Structure formats: C-alpha cells, structure tokens
Amino acid sequence: MSNTFFGAIADDFTGATDLAAMLSRAGVPVTLRIGLPEGPVANETATAFEVIALKIRTVPPEDAVAEARAALRWLRARGAKRIFWKYCSTFDSTPRGNIGPVADALMSDLKIDRTVHCPAFPENGRRVFMGNLFVNDMLLSESPMKDHPLTPMRDSNLMRLLAPQIKRQTGLVTFPTVRRGAEAVRDAMATLSGHVVLDAVEDCDLATLAEALHDIPLICGGSAIAQPLPALWRNTGTIGQTATAPLPKVTGGQIVLSGSCSAMTRAQVGVYLKGAAGYRLDPLELAQGNLADARAWLKMQDPNAPKIVFATAEPKSVAAAQDRLGVARAGALVEDALAQLAIDARNMGVSRIVVAGGETSGAVTRALNVDRLTIGPEVAPGVPWCFTGNGLALALKSGNFGAETFFNDAFEMLEHGVASATG
Ligand SMILES: Nc1ncnc2c1ncn2[C@@H]1O[C@H](COP(=O)(O)OP(=O)(O)O)[C@@H](O)[C@H]1O
Ligand SMILES: O=C(O)[C@@H](O)C(=O)COP(=O)(O)O
C-alpha cells in the first residue's frame, strides 16, 4: 500500500532535483523518479512526497500533455492528494507551451476550474510583481534568458505569456493583496478562475501564499513555493514527522558535462577551466559525425583529475550553429554527444558527475539508466547532490543556478563528506 500525499510532475530533470531539494530542506523524505516506473513499485518504501522528472519542456505540446497526464494518473493511483506542476522559475516555454497546455490538461483531469502559477524564487533572484517576472534586477525579457538556445524569453508578463497557451482565462493576485495576508489572498482567489498568477517578491510572500493555498488540488510554478508547504501540512496533522537517512559515500573519478549556454554556466565554465582539463564540443563538427576526437580525449584523461567537456558557448556562436543546423538538431547533437561521453566516463571509473543544463541533464541521466535518485545536501540553492542506487553521485545544475565557483564547490562538498539526506 502506498501513502503518497504530494505528487509533482517536473518538466525537466534539473527542475525535479531543484524541487526535491526544497522539499528535503523542509525535512520530508522525497522519492525522485526519472520518468514513470515501468513495472509495479509496491515493495519499496513509499514516501509521502513523490517527484516525477520528465523531459517535456520543449517537446511538442501534445506529447508533453500525454506524458504529464500519464504521470498524474500514476501519482493519483498511489494516493496523491496535492499535485504540483513544476516548471522553470524563468517560465521557460515556447509560444505554444508547454506550461499552459499541461496546466490546462491537469486541471481538466482533476476536474477543477482554477489553478495558480507561482514561478517566484527570491533566493535565486526570481520575483513576480504585478504579473511581471524579474530575474535579479532585470525584467525576464531583458535578462540573459532572451538568448536561451531553446526557449528564448522575449516577454516578461506572465498573463500575456500564458494567454496563447491556454483555453481558460488568466487572473492575478497582486503584490499589495499578498502583503495584506493569507485571508486577503483567499478572498481575491474567490473572485478569480482559470490560471491565476501570483505576485511574490520575498520569501515572506511565498509563506503567505502557501498558507492561503496549501489545500488547493493543483499548484503550478517554480520550486520555492513548495518549501513552506510541508510545515503547514505537518501542523495540521496531514503528514507525520519524518526522519533522515544516512547518505551513501561515493568515491571514484569525476567529470563536469556542460550543455548549458546560460550566462551563469558560461561564467562557471570559465572559472573551472583555470584548474581543470577541458574539451570543447562544436555542434558543427558533431554534425559531421565527429565524436571520436572527444571520446579519444576523454579516454586519455585521469578519471580522478578535474575535467570538463562542454558545448557551452556565447549566444552568437549558438545562433550560428542553429542557423546552419536548426535549433532542434543543434541541441540534440550536443545532448547525444554528452550522453555518450557520460557512458564513456562511467566505464572508465567516473562516479561523481556534475551536469550543467536541464535538457542536458535529461539526456545524460537517461543514458546512465538512472531511474531513481536520493536527494542529498544542496551545493547551491536548488542544486542538490543526488545519489543513484548503483554508486553514482549526480549534481544536475540548472543553467543559471550556482555561484561562479559552482563546479569546484560541488566536488569539494563530496570530498568533505555529506552528513545525511532524506529519501
Ligand atoms: N554550442 C551550442 N550550439 C547550439 N546549441 C547548443 C550548444 N551548446 C548547447 N546547446 C544546446 O542548448 C540547450 C541548452 O539547454 P539546457 O541543457 O536546458 O541548458 P539550460 O539549463 O541552461 O537551459 C541544449 O539542448 C544543448 O544541447
Ligand atoms: O526553476 C528553475 O529555475 C529550475 O528548477 C529549472 O527548471 C531550470 O531549468 P534549466 O535552467 O533549463 O536547467
């Protein structure tokens, strides 16, 4: 018998580990699954918090909807009472989706006519004011997200971004209302239907929103709104107390694989290359079928020494590759190459792997046949070390998360040992 209470569907793998980290911080055991299990899972220890990592951020909307609905069915069959649709705190989507279509489909399946959208993540500089998303001190559309290889964000208004993606209407709970407290938020919600965007500027706003909304069936957004939820459910006796489990110690070689071209990753790669061996992947060369050079380079490296393989490049160079190859093909070539190199690294004794990029993390994690992750401590907000059942440690870093020294920070943290985790 399962006792799942909270079920989350994440649109990419870094997003899934980000959400799992926020729940772990709140002291609850989380099961993070890579895709839906193929067979029954009845004999394993059930946890009240399940996160399913999908790779549906940039697939056609029909495919994203089908996968998300299957995940919803699976979670509800396990007993999930609260559903969370986790997407990016920078609202990464194409003009057609997939944030809106999936939210609409989940609403229909749950038979509800209202949900909320809360991408705010103040600790990582994502704030929503009057329905407009800010990244640090910039509007989303003026931030480096305007140049994202797959989901360039050229508008900052969440209602405007959602409108062409959804069948229902949009609404907004404004910042002044949120600052008046949970009751004011509930009163405002009672007058709204469809997709309600929530303003939130600081963590205290997320706490107010969580207090007002923790009992609604479906929350959509970034990971930060999830952090205050477990304490609220614990206070009302909805979930019990939880214990932490010791983490496995992972020794063995190390590598960084970076397919993210986000501004922060570019800086992180630059810093890491000062002390690590590096190999740059070029999508145009990959298109000629040349992965052999990269594989040969990797084979010559000491498994234990710091090293990085990266396709990370400046927007101009990304645009040039995309002009020649098309956006999807350029992305797929890099993802497939890094996935193959992850397998090669594993075969030469590498067991501690940092991956930069959400899509990239999806490709690498799948290639390594990982089906479940235990969540460890965070290297940076939203980026935990994760552990597989078969001796691998993975840190899946979202493009813009972490400090410039992230890659060094990650391995240092493992060297010094990590105390405990949930899962
Ligand atoms: N040099 C490049 N030219 C074109 N596309 C690239 C290049 N390097 C990486 N990519 C692709 O860009 C996408 C980056 O997305 P992702 O891995 O999700 O990173 P992020 O987390 O920064 O959004 C991937 O599909 C990746 O394969
Ligand atoms: O919400 C976030 O910002 C992250 O959890 C996330 O989804 C990041 O996506 P990528 O930057 O594509 O890794």
Between 238 and 216, the more confident residue is: 216
CA–CA separation, 254 and 245 (whole Å): 25
Query: How would CATH label the architecture of 246-421?
Result: 3-Layer(aba) Sandwich (3.40)
pLDDT value for 128: 98
**Residue 76 alpha carbon to ligand 2 centre in Å:** 25
Instruction: Looking at the CA of residue 360, tell me the nearest atom of ligand 1.
Output: 17
Best mutation site among 9, 11, 13, 14 for ligand 2 pocket (most ligand atoms within 8 Å of CB):
14
Structure confidence at residue 135 as a pLDDT band (50, 70, 90) = very high
Give yes or no for residue 258 CB within 6 A of ligand 1: no
Best mutation site among 11, 51, 92 for ligand 2 pocket (most ligand atoms within 8 Å of CB):
92
What percent of the chain has pLDDT above 90?
Answer: 87
Token pair 């993606």: residue = 165
> Could you give the 3-state DSSP secondary structure of residue 100?
helix
pLDDT at 96 over 50: yes
What is 6-235's CATH topology?
Rossmann fold (3.40.50)
Q: How far is CA 119 from the centre of its chain?
A: 12
CA–CA separation, 97 and 167 (whole Å): 12
Give yes or no for residue 376 CB within 6 A of ligand 1: no
pLDDT value for 193: 97
**Among the bound ligands, the one closest to the CA of 265:** 1
pLDDT at 243 over 90: no
Query: Would you give the end-to-end CA distance of the chain in angstroms?
Result: 18
Answer for the pair 90, 133: CB distance below 8 angstroms, yes or no: yes
Instruction: Looking at the CA of residue 12, tell me the nearest atom of ligand 2.
Output: 7
pLDDT value for 45: 60
Instruction: Looking at the CA of residue 325, tell me the nearest atom of ligand 1.
Output: 4
Structure confidence at residue 42 as a pLDDT band (50, 70, 90) = low
Give yes or no for residue 177 CB within 6 A of ligand 2: no
Q: Whose CA is nearest to atom 3 of ligand 2?
A: 89
pLDDT value for 251: 86
Give yes or no for residue 222 CB within 6 A of ligand 2: yes
Give yes or no for residue 337 CB within 6 A of ligand 1: no
pLDDT value for 239: 78
Q: Whose CA is nearest to atom 12 of ligand 2?
A: 358
pLDDT value for 3: 80
Q: Whose CA is nearest to atom 25 of ligand 1?
A: 331
**Among the bound ligands, the one closest to the CA of 331:** 1
**Among the bound ligands, the one closest to the CA of 323:** 1
Instruction: In the chain, list all ranges with CATH 3.40.980.20.
Output: 246-421
pTM, full prediction: 0.94
**Residue 43 alpha carbon to ligand 2 centre in Å:** 32
pLDDT at 43 over 70: no
pLDDT digits (tens, 9 = 90+) for 156-211: 999 999 999 999 999 999 999 999 999 999 999 999 999 999 999 999 999 999 99
Instruction: In the chain, list all ranges with CATH 3.40.50.10840.
Output: 6-235
CA–CA separation, 271 and 406 (whole Å): 9
CA–CA separation, 85 and 208 (whole Å): 20
Between 406 and 241, the more confident residue is: 406
**Among the bound ligands, the one closest to the CA of 119:** 2
